[in-house]
Homo-oligomer: A and B are copies of this chain.
């Protein structure tokens, strides 16, 4: 397999690598010499309690979330020690495409959201973090946020899952299945035995189209909202945003993350009882949903929020739907930043 230069500091900005050692996965396999890629911003205080953890979404790296970090923003590095961990399987951490040996590529073991969160916990311990002022993340980042709140209640003061659920819904699983199938439909995928991502470009493009259909609101298409964001046509929006997003990525990495997403479920800590799992959370939880989200709907988010005592629900109305979080619309970005400011300002 040829090297994929997409997964590099040149493309995503500098990052650190934490050595996880021989990391035993929930599924039973051991990732020997596993590595967790991450970035930090700001300084940890002496008490080790001014940290914020900001895990990332499906197909994303720290680069996608980094714009939310900056002076004057909610995630202000002059005030907080902010850690953005990349996903295992995400391409910069140990992942199918960069992990050589018997677990290489299509032989990479199945991961869980819990694996990510345990790896992050090891990292934070090594950095001296004692308490998290907030865990927040979007989509699969929200899954990790919920996992943190359930698994390490003592460490998490505030949890703000954004456009994501504690347990993947059945309909959302179908969405994951459909986009994985679109990718795997490409004969060049060869059950993961391709030589380079570019060979699988038809599958990656098809996957992009499924995301296009579900990723933003219907109104985004029906009212030609793409015009406001530098796209010259409907076709240009499909190619310029969605195909462009997935084309450089490694199919095995994407499928690895997708499987994690589909299985995401904090209730496994409570024998499948989601009510008990969510009731166990001690953090102040602010559930942020996107009103026009089509695969992790505001209704899905609300159902879970109602099971968390003392929690609040915040709904953001943008026509960008699930992908509001990309902040392509500066107004959306401001709204999300302001939301995070309010959440951080709450006494807990």
Binding site for B on A (CB under 8 A): 169-171, 173-175, 177-178, 181-182, 185-187, 202-203, 206, 209-210, 212-213, 218, 220-222, 224, 234, 238, 294, 297, 299-300
Contact = CB atoms under 8 A, between A and B. Distances in A.
Given A186-B185, A187-B187, A206-B181, A174 B213 contact: yes
A209 B209 CA distance: 15
Contacts of A299: 218
Contacts of A213: 171, 174-175, 178
Number of copies: 2
24 contacts: A169-B218, A169-B221, A171-B213, A171-B221, A173-B221, A174-B209, A174-B213, A174-B234, A174-B238, A178-B182, A178-B209, A178-B210, A178-B213, A181-B182, A181-B206, A181-B209, A182-B182, A182-B185, A182-B206, A185-B202, A185-B206, A187-B187, A218-B300, A222-B300
A111 to B, nearest CB: 23
A224 B171 CA distance: 10
Contacts of A187: 187
Nearest to A226: B170
A203 B187 CA distance: 12
A3 to B, nearest CB: 28
A181 B187 CA distance: 14
Of listed A174, A182, A210, A294, residue having the most chain B CB within 10 A: A174
Given A171-B213, A178-B210, A209-B177, A218 B185 contact: no
A178 B118 CA distance: 38
Nearest to A177: B209
Contacts of A206: 181-182, 185
A202 B181 CA distance: 10
A305 to B, nearest CB: 15
A333 to B, nearest CB: 24
A163 B80 CA distance: 52
Contacts of A234: 170, 173-174
A281 B203 CA distance: 44
Contacts of A185: 182, 185-186, 202-203, 206
A169 B222 contact: yes
Nearest to A174: B213
Contacts of A182: 178, 181-182, 185, 206
A199 to B, nearest CB: 15
Contacts of A177: 209
